[in-house]
Amino acid sequence: MEKPMEEKDMGDRPWYGDWPQGVSKMIDLPDYGLADMLRQTARRYPDDKAIVFLGSMITYRRLEDLVDRLSTAFHRMGLRKGDVVAMMLPNSHQFVVVFYACQRLGITVTAINPTYKPMEIRHQLRDSGAKTLVVLDALYETASKGLENADVKHIIGTNIVDLCNFSFIKVFLGKRLKKIPQGIMPSTVLRLSDLLTTDPSPPNVKVDPMNDVAVLQYTGGTTGTPKGAMLTAQNLASNAISGKFWIGSDFPRDAGWVGVLPLFHVFAMTCVMNIAIATGGFMLLFPRPPEDFHEWARNLEKWGRGTKLCMPGVATLFNKINNTPGLEKYDLSSLTRCLSGAGPLPRDVQVTFEKKFGTLVVEGYGLSESSPVTHANPFVLPEGRERVMGSIGLPFPNTDVRIMDLETGEKVLGLGEDQVGEICIKGPQVMKGYLNKPEETSKALRDGWLHTGDIGYMDKRGWTFIKDRARDLIKHKGYSVFPKEVEELLFSRSDILEAAVIGVPDPQVGEAIKAFVVLKESAAGRVTEIEIIDWCRENMAHYKVPSIIEFRDTLPKTLVGKVLRRVLREEEATKRTETKKETA
């Protein structure tokens, strides 16, 4: 029989030996919902900043008032506990207000990627059973095409600046000059700004944080059509509170959490929005990942003054910032901590960012199914301990990890680099399951353990290392090749900006290794495929060397910035099919 979590010792949890200073190994799980978390913070710090967006600031007092008004309006519209509200919104004041108004009523939120096309929108609306859609007016035309055969009763529209308190003249000119995006909506669409004039008298709805579904987070999971991971209020709140401890006691309570990643993704939902509210800090939101990092720097310089900032990001974001000239003219000293997730963080990118900005960057790990964080590198190590580069870090508080064998998924492996298997997680952040998908749920959740589909190992000190996704593993001449490892080696070449590696079917070797490479501007047109292959032969074991190099201007990515190897594999499959047709 497995030991209860509180009875386990260092033998069961070797990571306790390197546990970060000042962080509780076990935290008390919240017995309240997310809306109560906001209410507590708003009562403690009513006049502190809660949200900064497009230069407009909302205090906790104002945020709480808006949430009460909207939850009252939702209740009068007939929305009840257990209903689903879909949001198709970019980062904005509105995203936060709608999200927390739903939590106040026990309504489930499902956030739709604003770049989705009609078929993708339709699938999420139908699968989630959403009764209401809150949408940006500029996205309405696309969203409306996704409403077919969806049981949506109410559509609520908003403009991006509706809660920014801009003057009439500024809004008029901004729309006229197309600096403020807008779209035409029919008169049947309700206006969020009208609903927010409702006198606040929200009903008292009892939320069960352990069982009621707060968020349906759609994810591709391991295979197939996107599935709705059912995340409870306790899943999300426990993850935000763990992050509050993990950041360190020297990080100020009123610090800012920089939201360059989209809030519809659970990484930013937890590590920007919810953690800001859990700590009593503020979120500095950008409507989309910045194209102009000088504008990003100006905002950090302005709003970070007098406090500190933490920015969750992804490797591609940090890499772009590294390669943006002229940022040294801004005072970015307030940006003291960054957390990298949603994919591997190449060491060169990490070290360059830290040297350039004097900011600590640590790598973390998580999944949509775990709200999302399960691991992170410590910001503050015990005295005498050094950083472990290349690791995803240590398990979060209250979280257990084990490595299971790849063949049966039933044998627990030991510690060490030769004990490679599937990373499995158990903790308060792990989802209830996938909505209406019992078979998929039973594959992912076994005896309370989340089987992640990621391959890795744990060293003797309890640090976890990821080799790659199980589905991305390349079988080449009988060898197992991890794309992540080849990509990181390519990253270390000074003229390569980005790289992605996949396996391509080849009857002679099983799978040939193909690398898609984006060169830095200074190297474009000067470096050849042969040069890179020769360099790989000098720096990699023979079985890891790509035999095919394809130069690209960009790589396909999610809105978060995660490289989509799946899209590259699909493109290759299409090419092979077309080639067969031509030769038939």
Q: Tell me: the pLDDT tens digits for 224-255?
A: 578 999 999 999 999 999 999 999 888 999 99
Give the phi and the psi of residue 117 in degrees, each rounded to 5. -95, 170
Q: Give Rg (Cα) of the chain.
A: 24
> How far apart are alpha carbons 77 and 300 in whole angstroms?
40
Sheet holding 433-434, edge to edge: 190-191, 154-158, 132-136, 84-88, 108-111, 213-219, 227-232, 433-434
Residue 283, classed as helix, strand or coil, is strand
Which secondary structure element, helix H or strand E, spans residue 442, and what is its range?
helix 438-444
Structure tokens belonging to residue 339: 């957390």
pLDDT digits over 183-213, tens only? 899 999 999 999 999 999 999 999 999 999 9
pLDDT digits over 73-107, tens only? 999 999 999 999 999 999 999 999 999 999 999 99
The secondary structure of residue 393, as a DSSP letter, is: B
The CATH class of the 473-583 domain is: alpha beta
Which DSSP string do the residues of 336-370 spell out, in sequence order? EEEEE-SS---HHHHHHHHHHH--EEEEEEE-GGG
**For position 222, what pLDDT does the model report?**
39
Give the phi and the psi of residue 177 in degrees, each rounded to 5. -90, 5
| Averaged pLDDT of the chain | 90
The CATH class of the 26-46+56-235 domain is: alpha beta
Does residue 173 register a pLDDT over 80? Answer: no
Angle between helices 483-491 and 347-357 (to 10 degrees): 40
> How far apart are alpha carbons 171 and 440 in whole angstroms?
48
Are β-strands 479-481 and 474-476 bridged in parallel, bridged antiparallel, or unpaired? antiparallel
Q: pLDDT band at 315, cuts 50/70/90? A: confident
Does residue 2 register a pLDDT over 50? Answer: no
Average pLDDT estimate for 362-390: 90
Does residue 277 register a pLDDT over 60? Answer: yes
| Cα 285 to Cα 42, 101, 258, 452, distances in angstroms | 19, 19, 6, 30
* Cβ–Cβ under 8 Å, residues 541 and 489: no
Which DSSP string do the residues of 76-89 spell out, in sequence order? HTT--TT-EEEEE-
pLDDT digits over 401-440, tens only? 999 998 888 899 999 999 999 999 999 999 999 999 999 9
Q: pLDDT band at 478, cuts 50/70/90? A: low
Q: pLDDT band at 221, cuts 50/70/90? A: very low
* Cβ–Cβ under 8 Å, residues 519 and 527: yes
Q: What is the 3-state composition of the chain as percent helix, strand, coil, each rounded to the nearest 5?
A: 35, 25, 40
Structure tokens belonging to residue 158: 């908003």
> How far apart are alpha carbons 441 and 500 in whole angstroms?
30
Does residue 4 register a pLDDT over 50? Answer: no
- Looking at the DSSP bridge assignments, the partners of residue 352 are none
Does residue 581 register a pLDDT over 50? Answer: yes
* Cβ–Cβ under 8 Å, residues 375 and 17: no
* Cβ–Cβ under 8 Å, residues 214 and 231: yes
Residues of the chain with CATH 3.30.300.30: 473-583
> How far apart are alpha carbons 209 and 206 in whole angstroms?
9
Does residue 477 register a pLDDT over 70? Answer: yes
Residues of the chain with CATH 3.40.50.980: 26-46+56-235
Does residue 223 register a pLDDT over 50? Answer: no
> How far apart are alpha carbons 7 and 167 in whole angstroms?
60
* Cβ–Cβ under 8 Å, residues 339 and 375: no
| Cα 78 to Cα 72, 81, 132, 153, distances in angstroms | 10, 10, 11, 10
> How far apart are alpha carbons 539 and 488 in whole angstroms?
12
Interacting residues of 371 by C-beta distance below 8 A, sequence separation 6+: 231, 235, 236, 238, 239, 266, 270, 429, 430, 431
Q: pLDDT band at 177, cuts 50/70/90? A: low
Structure tokens belonging to residue 229: 């991971």
> How far apart are alpha carbons 337 and 334 in whole angstroms?
9
- CA 535 to centroid of chain Cα atoms: 34
